[in-house]
Structure 1
């Protein structure tokens, strides 16, 4: 199978070829490995090559039997391999067993042949760790693919795989999907188990995937949305499989839109224009669309999230230090990670609880909007993909630049609502622009139905990165 044949199919399509015996699992792995060898030196998306291991493991007989797949080097554990989290501190943290999501993927027949780049502990919306190196965007090598699932998105956009595992604690699925012209669904809190690991950032973090097609995302979520014994929270199974929902008409939805930024003064004009054009598209598809104000104290939410995240980082590093018998020192983690650790070490138990209370208050305020609307539309990012190194080049402007780039994603991690980015627009320079759609808690079905309709109205599958 040559690359053009390989790229013409999404993961579901490749699985159908294997099922019909028109191609073998080995041939698919050869195509993926060949593409990785060709482009990965330029983008540094795959940082752990497990091709030989994948060749030695026969593919399972599930829905995705023989389809090549990549795990993010954060959140997923594959027996016998380290999960580094983008940090040299965990370079030798070899997993004794697969965790729940890896078990589900392997049970579905996915052929896991590598792990993808991520910033240290997933803290940033770009992928430029000191340990794993800079990851670059296949649409423009001078630009970031986003983060923290930047390696996953770059690998998919470059054609190495049609879909890849990803996770999202503040926008880490939606940001790279938007930067790389992909579909990215962040499921509701509790939809995908982290078992047996602890919950990420007080439940703000969630695992799923970045994909080229809507149906791949839906099928992959069907595979992994099974509660595990002892989960601290979970959602009831959907009424019908998400894969079926993605093929159903959404009906007439009530859609609110906001053409601004939640955590920054404003948007890049091209992103604002893309929101308004997406609103017109939704209206043309028969939906009821109107501009609205998003409720809730965003500043209080942002401050509380900072406390919870930094305290979580401190707790994780302290646990590691206790296990090995000595504290984590400067130089063992990146400077900004150490600053986050020190900030988190100063968060008292009472301040942590107050932070959680502030996040819960924000969630209740936000929920009022969805009493009147089915979906909220807004820009995924504040701008198209930024240049590599831009956020960190001016230390005094890190906070300002960080939220100028990602002003609209973090809120929905803290509310736990499902949110997706859809590649409906491009900048004048040809960079992808993602549009974000948010639904009420547990309503992924609504988003998948709308996504399927948008995919038919404005197809993007054949919009390839120029790499």
Structure 2
């Protein structure tokens, strides 16, 4: 992350932007958008997290200046509805403390964290920041104040990130859009009539709109990859167990859910995963941490890639999504990789039936714990109708059904492991349809209507939550309507380094950084 700028004045340096030294590794320059011209630090949106950290490290910017730039954009871009709970004063206090410590002294002692002072935000779902509320997008949790920090939050803070908000999520992350009775609708920065995806839609919308260069996200069925695809960003769901989920529970939804980030640059994702991966007390089964930063500097050669186009549910795939994945296949071939059509034979019916059992049971467990804390029962009017229905069904599930669900997931993992003995990666669409209109996937509608749209959202993504394999969405295509359509790659268990190496290669070959939505253009 070294840079060279001796003799440049502060404002000259900022105008030169990330074209200098470490900030230029992926060409992330300080291009100023029209939307940012009247905001504090108009160059801010041209920098990724690493470039901002580099400017802070050099003393060209202070943590408070960078934070105020993020807050200003959050305030002026409220229409996208990405922020659920602001923690602005908490973050300002942290930024002032960083400045008061003295940059020169911290550098002398070698104690400056790699991302010191960079603004960041957490998804408002299943993560704890002590002394603050995490609502899970649900009215029943609107006053749920955390009495501890999640292990992941401790690692984010150790990396130097300054957490300034919680970002919107649908209730319990149970759908592929980000809409809730509690927080309203989060819009897609590319077109406000469309969904930003879910359940990490607030995270994707905030990054796409230029509020943040990177944001925390989680994925229990596609909830990192779907919003990354819908918003033209990069998103990687890591292998089961790689990123800590504790300390209270060491697996989310018995292994379905994983935490990571959504970013604009691949290198931000590589660094953030490098800094947060690895076991925590209680971890028993997890892949070995990888050398992810080194991986993005080594373009992969001759990968064997299986192309999967058929919808696991047999319902077809929209032409826009096929165009996207076929274009990605051609690019991979041009880069020297081998791509060939293939098919997967998975126990789809058992897998998705088990997913319904597992997610509903996980939700019921959270509700029971909240009931105990409040000393009262949950009420129907405190939940979205579809989730209330799932909660009632969960009360009747048996231990045998839960065990069968996990057995189906394990069987899928075994089949995919054997498939990966023949291929390095799997390439597929992220979703079976382009971004939906707002309302199509809302949890506040008749169940029969919801299911018709939901089956198009996650047939390709959820299988890798069930199997535990890592998978990513790469933004390489926009349809005729100007909406982003991502392509998904999945890798063997613990194969994050291969995914990131290919993503960096694709980013170099077909850069997406200058494609910015109206909210940030």
Q: Same fold (TM over 0.5)?
A: yes
Shift of 1:103: 0.8
Contact 2:199 2:224 in 1 (8 A): yes
C-alpha distance in 2 between matches for 1:309 and 1:129: 18
Listed as ranges, the gaps of 5+ residues in structure 1 are none
Corresponding residue pairs, total:
464
Corresponding residue for residue 65 of structure 2: 27
C-alpha distance in 2 between matches for 1:415 and 1:356: 10
Which segment is superposed worse, 63-72 or 315-324? Answer: 315-324
Contact 1:264 1:403 in 2 (8 A): no
Corresponding residue for residue 253 of structure 1: 303
Match 1:47 to one of 71, 79, 84: 84
Contact 1:260 1:272 in 2 (8 A): no
Q: In the TM superposition, what whole-angstrom CA distance separates every residue of 1:291-348 from its partner, at most 9, and x where no partner exists?
A: 0001212122111111111122222222322333332221122211111101111110
Q: In the TM superposition, what whole-angstrom CA distance separates every residue of 1:181-224 from its partner, at most 9, and x where no partner exists?
A: 00000000010011113121111100000000000000000111
Q: Does 1:7 align with 2:45?
A: yes
Q: Name the CA shift for 1:323/1:31 in 2 (closer, same or farther; >3 Å).
A: closer
C-alpha distance in 1 between matches for 2:446 and 2:394: 23
Contact 2:300 2:501 in 1 (8 A): yes
Match 1:448 to one of 485, 497, 500: 500
Does the residue aligned with 1:371 lie in a helix, a strand or coil? coil
Match 1:270 to one of 293, 297, 320: 320
Corresponding residue for residue 290 of structure 1: 340
Shift of 1:394: 5.8
Q: Does 1:431 align with 2:483?
A: yes
Corresponding residue for residue 352 of structure 1: 402
Does the residue aligned with 2:432 lie in a helix, a strand or coil? coil
Corresponding residue for residue 373 of structure 1: 423
C-alpha distance in 1 between matches for 2:421 and 2:395: 39
Q: Root-mean-square deviation (CA), in Å? A: 1.4
Shift of 1:97: 2.1
Match 2:448 to one of 384, 396, 417: 396
Corresponding residue for residue 158 of structure 1: 209
Shift of 1:351: 1.4
Contact 1:359 1:414 in 2 (8 A): yes
Shift of 1:78: 0.9
Which segment is superposed worse, 205-214 or 321-330? Answer: 321-330
Q: Does 1:300 align with 2:350?
A: yes
Does the residue aligned with 1:434 lie in a helix, a strand or coil? strand
Q: Does 1:118 align with 2:169?
A: yes
Does the residue aligned with 2:195 lie in a helix, a strand or coil? coil
Contact 1:29 1:67 in 2 (8 A): yes
C-alpha distance in 1 between matches for 2:190 and 2:214: 17
C-alpha distance in 1 between matches for 2:147 and 2:449: 42
Match 1:16 to one of 19, 35, 54: 54
C-alpha distance in 2 between matches for 1:343 and 1:73: 25
C-alpha distance in 2 between matches for 1:150 and 1:197: 25
Shift of 1:369: 1.4
Q: Does 1:128 align with 2:165?
A: no
Corresponding residue for residue 466 of structure 1: 518
Q: Does 1:193 align with 2:244?
A: yes
Which segment is superposed worse, 148-157 or 268-277? Answer: 268-277
Contact 1:263 1:408 in 2 (8 A): no
Q: In the TM superposition, what whole-angstrom CA distance separates every residue of 1:396-416 from its partner, at most 9, and x where no partner exists?
A: 232121011322110000100
Corresponding residue for residue 379 of structure 2: 329
Q: In the TM superposition, what whole-angstrom CA distance separates every residue of 1:44-64 from its partner, at most 9, and x where no partner exists?
A: 101111111111113483111
Q: Does 1:174 align with 2:174?
A: no
Contact 2:234 2:472 in 1 (8 A): yes
Match 2:283 to one of 231, 254, 272: 231
C-alpha distance in 1 between matches for 2:243 and 2:287: 9
Q: Does 1:86 align with 2:137?
A: yes
C-alpha distance in 1 between matches for 2:208 and 2:488: 19
C-alpha distance in 1 between matches for 2:373 and 2:61: 48
Q: Name the CA shift for 1:322/1:264 in 2 (closer, same or farther; >3 Å).
A: farther
Find the structure with the greater CA-based Rg: 2
C-alpha distance in 1 between matches for 2:281 and 2:448: 46
C-alpha distance in 2 between matches for 1:197 and 1:456: 40
Contact 1:187 1:419 in 2 (8 A): yes
C-alpha distance in 2 between matches for 1:3 and 1:426: 29
Listed as ranges, the gaps of 5+ residues in structure 2 are 1-13, 15-39, 99-110
Does the residue aligned with 2:344 lie in a helix, a strand or coil? coil
Contact 1:208 1:221 in 2 (8 A): yes
C-alpha distance in 1 between matches for 2:405 and 2:278: 29
Contact 1:425 1:434 in 2 (8 A): yes
Match 2:126 to one of 75, 79, 83: 75
C-alpha distance in 1 between matches for 2:190 and 2:129: 30
